[in-house]
Chain A
Amino acid sequence: GNSVTQMEGPVTLSEEAFLTINCTYTATGYPSLFWYVQYPGEGLQLLLKATKADDKGSNKGFEATYRKETTSFHLEKGSVQVSDSAVYFCALTGGSQGNLIFGKGTKLSVKP
Chain B
Amino acid sequence: EAGVTQSPTHLIKTRGQQATLRCSPISGHTSVYWYQQALGLGLQFLLWYDEGEERNRGNFPPRFSGRQFPNYSSELNVNALELEDSALYLCASSLWTSRYEQYFGPGTRLTVT
Check if A and B associate: no
